[in-house]
Structure 1
Amino acid sequence: MPGGLVALLDDVATIAKAAAASTDDIAAAAGRASAKAAGVVVDDAAVTPQFVDGVSPKRELPMIWRITKGSLINKIVIILPIALLLSQFLPWALTPILMLGGSYLCFEGMEKVWEKIHHRLSPKVSEAERMEAATNRSPKDEDALVKSAIFTDLILSAEIMVISLNEVSHEPLLNRALILIAVALVITLAVYGVVGLLVKIDDIGLYLQSKNSAGAAKFGAGLVKAMPIVLNIIGVVGTFAMLWVGGHIMVVGLDELGWSLPHHLVHNLEQMVSGGFLTWVAGTTGSLIFGAIWGAILVAATAVLPFGHSKKH
């Protein structure tokens, strides 16, 4: 009897070790998959603050929370089952789907570049006019903004999940599901946690400015002045990240489908440097250039198509 108990405890310990190792593997795989989707994640964090720009401060966090819940539903309820079914029964479809998403990223990245150029050439809306429009928003306007943000998130989330799935497609089905759930939770909470902090930093700065402490007031003033710069930097980084990730997806996808010229050009660029970090920089630059070229072609194509003229920015 004691011997049987010892054997049972030994089996339990073995199972526990295996479960712990499996958990570690899932966590590590989720980390790798999340890193691959970093470009889309940065853009997600850069895009979302625009939906609460000018909203009453007391409504900012509730709106972001509504968008966060919508994002989780997008990833776990809508995208995850479809992605798992495709990976299980139609794995060949992942590359074309990834390329469609990569094309969207390239298009969106270059459209942002064009909008920036167009904005500089167009009459500017004054801050007073912008704030007046924001003040007059009704609850229906807020609902429309939230729905728009959730739809944008659906597109970005689909790309995040498919990129992540492509990184763990060799895993068993259950592990794939657990990894993607972990990716969805971590990325969503991280992105919208950062977004919530970003949109409230100026309020924190104004609060510090009201303090009697000269140091706190000075720091608060610095926060208020820094936020537009920080958001602009995030926007620029997000645009470059979209072009880089989208370009890389297209280069790899085209190579898998039989057209290897872009892949060879990027590879030759990597071979021109000594290695290590510089190799990564060269490869990233090559993917970014290809993404920018492909994105520019798509933007130009939509400009001459009928639906392109009616598109509202």
Structure 2
Amino acid sequence: MSAGLLALLDDVAVIAKAAAASIDDVGVATSRASAKAAGVVIDDAAVTPSYVTGITPDRELPIIARITLGSLKNKLVFLLPGALLLSWLLPQAITPILMLGGAYLSYEGAEKVIEKLGGAKHGETLEEPISDPKKFEKERTQGAIRTDLILSAEIMAISLNEIATITEVFWVRAVALAIVGILITLVVYGAVALIVKMDDIGLALAERKSGIVQAIGRGLLRAMPRLLTTISLVGTIAMLWVGGGILLHGVEVLGVAAPAHWAHGIQHTVEHATGALAGVLGWASYAAISAVVGLAVGFVLVFVLHKLLRIGGEAH
């Protein structure tokens, strides 16, 4: 065998090893980034079911499918290339952009709190007759996709930050970020679809001949209204704590560290005082502080937009 052929085979082997290492980097980056983004994923799953509440059962899955496609478009068409380009060309712009998203989530959450407390309602709500079902469905779907854009931006930013610690190879970052976006979207909206169709599953089980199966079905039917109410509440709280958390972290990155340090100080104090429950209660304390920050910022934005600038009319 000629020396030239041996050299060529050696080069091919080196390329193959490099490719295998890169694929391994994609797997490691994907798993670590997904774990880091898990908190926001839970928030996303809690927020979304509220957007199909009040929709006729036959339209629930089609709406979730549209939201899923919108979420994939958000992540793969807009956020992935945008995140990669910003991290390459203007990394300092990522934090302010995320803070705008945090402010939007805080505004949305505060508006829902005000409505629940009897304040002015904006747009058609579930407490009122739905005069135009198609328009209502379109507005709910668009609202879900807008909220998903903010949560997806946070997921992609967290994921990219984690992936960047593993590899500097551009295409590996891009592939890993795309995989994270697709997997998280399918998991979140698969769970949402299961939640919103649980009453139909319960009804089907309640009609079976087996007494045990019927009991399970009736239990699901009784539990679903409470579960959906709870999920709606968790979704509102999630908007506030994610929004407030983004703002706390953002101002810290921009040089105003006192608010975030104060919040983390309370978190550490709770952790040291609670022993075995330190992790859960410490996280809960920081989440509660973040939610209060989000609510305060949201109240200010609602006042400015609705009262001063007159943006967004009351429901009629």
Please give the range of the TM-score, normalised by the shorter of the 2 chains. Answer: 0.7 to 0.9
Aligned-residue offset at 1:92: 1.0
Deviates more, 1:78-87 or 1:295-304: 295-304
Q: Deviations over 1:110-142 (max 9, x none)?
A: 4444444338x99xxxx9x87xx56x7554554
Q: Spell out the pairing of 1:174-193 with structure 2 (5 A cutoff).
A: 174-193=171-190
1:304 aligned partner: 303
Find the counterpart in structure 1 of residue 199 from structure 2: 202
The equivalent position to 1:231 in structure 2, one of 210, 228, 231, is 228
> Which residue identity does 2:223 align to in structure 1?
A
Counterpart position of 2:102: 102
Distance 1:113 1:10, change over 3 A: farther
Q: Is the 8 A contact 1:43 1:239 kept in 2?
A: no
* Cα pair distance change 1:263/1:49, threshold 3 Å: closer
User: In structure 2, what is the equivalent of residue 261 of structure 1?
Assistant: 258
- Give the match's secondary structure for 1:62: helix
Aligned position for 1:47: 47
* Within-5 A mapping of 1:88-99: 88-99=88-99
Q: Which residue of the partner structure matches residue 156 of structure 1?
A: 151
Superposition CA RMSD, Å? 3.5
Aligned equivalent of 1:71: 71
TM-score for the superposition, normalised by structure 1: 0.79
Whole-angstrom CA distance in 2 between matches of 1:260 and 1:92: 17
CA offsets 1:255-303 (integer angstroms, 9 cap, x no match): 2222221233234335434499755446534532442332233233234
Q: How does 1:137-152 map to 2 (within 5 A)?
A: 138-139=133-134, 141-152=136-147
Unaligned segments of structure 1, at least 5 residues: none
Give the deviation of 1:22 after TM superposition: 2.8
Decide which moves more: 202-211 or 139-148: 139-148
Could you list the runs of 4 or more consecutive aligned residues of structure 1 that deviate by over 6 angstroms after TM superposition?
A: 2-11
Conserved 8 A contact 1:244-1:285: no
When residues 253 and 140 of structure 1 are mapped into structure 2, their CA distance, relative to the original with a 3 A threshold, is closer
Does the C-alpha gap of structure 1 residues 240 and 280 become closer, same or farther in structure 2, counting only changes over 3 Å? Answer: farther
Match of 1:118, SS state, is coil
Distance 1:311 1:176, change over 3 A: farther
**In the TM superposition, what are the counterparts of 1:6-17 in structure 2 within 5 Å?**
15-17=15-17
After superposition, where does 1:282-301 map in structure 2 within 5 Å? Answer: 284-301=283-300
Unaligned runs of 5+ in 2: none
AA in 1 matched with 2:145: I
- 1:246 and 2:239 aligned: no
What is the CA distance between 1:150 and its match in structure 2?
2.5
With normalisation by structure 2, the TM-score equals 0.79
How many positions carry a matched residue from both structures? 304
Letter in 2 for 1:291: S
The 1-side partners of 2:302 and 2:244 are apart by 21
> Which residue in 2 is equivalent to 1:23?
23
1:38 corresponds in structure 2 to 38
Give percent identity, aligned residues only.
Answer: 51
In structure 2, how many angstroms separate the alpha carbons of the residues matched to 1:304 and 1:56? 33
